[in-house]
Amino acid sequence: MSSLFEQLGGQEAVDLTVDKFYERVLKDERVKHFFDDVDMVKQRQHQKQFLTYAFGGSSKYSGKAMRQSHKQLVQEKGLSDEHFDAIVEDLVETLKELEVSENLIEQVKSIAGDIHHRNDILNR
């Protein structure tokens, strides 16, 4: 069976998805302020690397742990469940825009919205 990464279209599809996703996020009043001081070129690259790993396209991930990389956002900017849900929603809307099948979108949602990821990101 092929990985979710392959089913989505491989690296080219992940790259396009991440670029479109951040276009949407940076217009989203609910969450765009979290990226005010972020190097978006670096952020996009980091997200592409993470999603490639999360979707089974790579067995290695060299980025910081989710808890560590989001701790400051929780403590200083109030990152919460509402923001987490908005990000997942933006990802789902991006996938719909790219005409990804509902089955694959549900698989992505189960990974992106996983309670363990949520708890790590929100430092719980």
Residues of the binding site: 46, 70, 117
Q: Smallest Cα–Cα separation from 87: which of 104, 109, 69, 54?
A: 109
Helix 81-97, helix 102-112: angle, nearest 10 = 160
What residues form the annotated binding site for heme?
46, 70, 117
Residues in CB range of 22: below 8 A, 6 or more apart: 35, 40, 43, 44, 47
Please report, in angstroms and rounded to a whole number, the separation of the first and last CA atoms in the chain. 34
H-helix or E-strand containing 4? helix 4-8
Evaluate the CA torsion angle 28, 58, 61, 117 in order and state its sign.
Answer: positive
